[in-house]
Amino acid sequence: MEKPQYNIAIVRSFIHWSLLWGVVSIVVGILISFQLIIPELNLSPYFTYGRLRPLHTNAGIFGWAIGTFFALFLYMVQRLCRRPLWSDKLARFQLWLFNLTIVAAAVTLLLGFTQSKEYHELEWPIDLMVVVLWVVFSINIVMTIVKRNEEQMYVSLWFMLASVVGVAILYLVNSAAVPVSLFKSYSAYAGANDANVQWWYGHNAVAMVLTAPPLAVFYYFLPKSTGVPIFSHRLSIVAFWSLIFMYLWTGAHHLLWTPIPDWIQTMAMAFSIMLIAPSWGSVVNGYLSMNGQWRQMRENYLVKFLILGITFYGLQTLQGPLQAVRTFSAFIHYTDWVPGHVHMGTLGWVSLVLFAAIYYLAPRMYGTELYSIPMANMHFWLVLVGQLLYSVSMWIAGVQQAGMWHAIGPDGSLTYTFMESLVSVYPYYWARAFSGIIYIAGVLLFVANLVLTVRKGKTRDTTAAPGAVGAA
């Protein structure tokens, strides 16, 4: 059969931009880590913690994670449907609108404009840009799938579709607001309702952005990297549908012990625990796909990233349900334990899988083999150590804070002031800031490796005939 003319240029462009936003996010993450221990680093008004923190999360989730998902979705959809993109022009437009939106987000956040909803800070004009961006993206993905040349839909396509549809619904519902002026609006919901909608959005953002897309990527790139198919297609599909069904009911586990109705909290708790099953469905499927292939953990650096990634996903989906249990939540909620959970997910699971996919694509994007595999191995160890140090130090800090906050004298008075608990976690804050430096050292090696690969590709282009590469 004739090979379709896949559009790889757009994939490459998205990856380059998402790498930029990823580095920005991490640099800002390191800066805010230091601000928590050296307050003088807050340069008011533009560079205070309150404005930089949402810049960090937005650049991380929307710039780095979603930017790379755009690239990988546009890549996978062509391969899995055996046809070129439905519209190359639309994809180009999407690239520029994406970058424009991220820049607008960064500028307005630094100027202090915010809706004050976590992960939905951007004010309504930028909300509108996001909606257009997502519609453009969705049309291209859906139309390519509709007009596909491969009858069977691989599980990655299902995860991609869920994410495309899910994000659209969540974002639209949560963005309902009444504008006062160009950069000020109030949520259309009030009080406890607002909180409930916000965390229904917030947790499903975890599902539709930080779970479904990386699973799509994992299911595609693991078999591609190992050269053997996934263990069970049926298991992957069952896990998919049950995951999507269960996630929708869990948002209120962010609101345990608050004034939202008790039954909503209990339901969220129950569904969160049930989520272990479909989450581990994918983990087990990944592990079993490695049957007889475990030596590749040593020999194939891509597999190392992917298998460690799915392992952190497995740990994350055990820790998450535990946090959703009322009694445990009462202990760790509001403490630094939670950022420990978050960064095992973002730095461990999501970023490791994305690194692997980008490495896999490097030869296909640049027309030459990766510049250095030892550098990629070094990258792996640095980000692994950085992430573990981050999470472990925050878990210890969280438990310590929780212990101190809960210590009560015989007459009901608190044993420790808040200040005392804060001072006691400074050593862990230092460890976290340091872990960020280790992590970014790894990421800079990664970027350097890619840049050197591009250079190598260029010199080869002039000496050797193109087309000899990209064999896979």
Structure tokens at 265: 């909290």
For residues 373 and 449, what is the distance between their CA atoms, to the nearest angstrom?
9
SS3 186: strand
For residues 302 and 355, what is the distance between their CA atoms, to the nearest angstrom?
9
- Choose the stretch contacting other proteins; rule: CB under 8 A; options: 71-79, 131-139, 176-184, 301-309: 176-184
Is residue 39 a contact residue for other proteins (CB under 8 A)?
yes
Is residue 45 a contact residue for other proteins (CB under 8 A)?
yes
Which of 413/463 has CB closer to other proteins? 413
For residues 422 and 408, what is the distance between their CA atoms, to the nearest angstrom?
17
- DSSP code of residue 253: G
The interface partner of residue 299, options being ligand HEM, other proteins, none and the CB cut-off 5 to 8 Å by kind, is: none
Question: 441-472: string of b/e by CB count within 10 Å (b at 16+)?
Answer: bbbebbeebbeebbebbeebeeeeeeeebeee
> Binder to ligand HEM among 342, 361, 382, 397 (CB under 6 A)?
342
Binding mask 367-406 toward ligand HEM (x if CB under 6 A, else -) reads -------------------x--------------------
Give how many residues touch other proteins by CB under 8 A: 19
> Binder to other proteins among 325, 414, 444, 469 (CB under 8 A)?
414
Q: What residues from 159 to 198 belong to the interface with ligand HEM (CB under 6 A)? A: none
The interface partner of residue 144, options being ligand HEM, other proteins, none and the CB cut-off 5 to 8 Å by kind, is: none
Q: Residues 6 or more apart from 314 whose CB is under 8 A from it?
A: 279, 280, 283
Q: What residues from 402 to 441 belong to the interface with ligand HEM (CB under 6 A)? A: 436, 439
For residues 37 and 432, what is the distance between their CA atoms, to the nearest angstrom?
11
Is residue 320 a contact residue for ligand HEM (CB under 6 A)?
yes
Q: Which residue, 410, 278, 257, is CA-closest to 326? A: 257
Q: Residues 6 or more apart from 466 whose CB is under 8 A from it?
A: 367
> Binder to ligand HEM among 13, 185, 265, 323 (CB under 6 A)?
323
Is residue 259 a contact residue for other proteins (CB under 8 A)?
no
> Binder to ligand HEM among 8, 23, 52, 61 (CB under 6 A)?
61
Q: How far is the CB of 468 from ligand HEM (least distance, A)?
A: 36
Which of 412/467 has CB closer to other proteins? 412
Distance of CA 357 to the CA centre of its chain: 14
Structure tokens at 229: 């198919």
Which of 47/287 has CB closer to other proteins? 47
Structure tokens at 133: 């961006």
Q: How far is the CB of 336 from ligand HEM (least distance, A)?
A: 6
> Binder to ligand HEM among 25, 115, 368, 401 (CB under 6 A)?
25
> Binder to ligand HEM among 167, 206, 208, 307 (CB under 6 A)?
206
Whether the link from the prior residue into 213 is cis, omega within 30° of 0, is no
The interface partner of residue 342, options being ligand HEM, other proteins, none and the CB cut-off 5 to 8 Å by kind, is: ligand HEM
> Binder to other proteins among 259, 292, 409, 467 (CB under 8 A)?
409
Q: For residues 66 and 72, is the Cβ–Cβ distance under 8 A?
A: no
Which of 67/457 has CB closer to ligand HEM? 67
Is residue 372 a contact residue for other proteins (CB under 8 A)?
no
| Residues written for the chain | 472
- DSSP code of residue 350: I
Q: What is the residue whose two structure tokens read 């939905």?
A: 120
SS3 180: strand
Q: Which residue, 267, 292, 121, 93, is CA-closest to 201? A: 121
Is residue 186 a contact residue for other proteins (CB under 8 A)?
yes
Q: How far is the CB of 39 from other proteins (least distance, A)?
A: 5
Q: For residues 300 and 226, is the Cβ–Cβ distance under 8 A?
A: yes
Q: For residues 62 and 35, is the Cβ–Cβ distance under 8 A?
A: no
Which of 180/468 has CB closer to other proteins? 180
Which of 120/343 has CB closer to ligand HEM? 343
Structure tokens at 228: 């053997």
Is residue 239 a contact residue for ligand HEM (CB under 6 A)?
no
SS3 256: coil
Q: For residues 181 and 190, is the Cβ–Cβ distance under 8 A?
A: no
Q: Which residues bind other proteins (CB under 8 A)?
A: 35, 39-40, 42, 44-45, 48-49, 178, 180-181, 184, 186, 409, 411-414, 417
Q: Which residues bind ligand HEM (CB under 6 A)?
A: 25-26, 29-30, 32-33, 53, 56-57, 60-61, 64-65, 118, 206, 210-211, 250, 253-254, 272, 275, 279, 313, 316-317, 320-321, 323-324, 329, 332-333, 336, 338-339, 341-343, 345-347, 349-351, 386, 436, 439
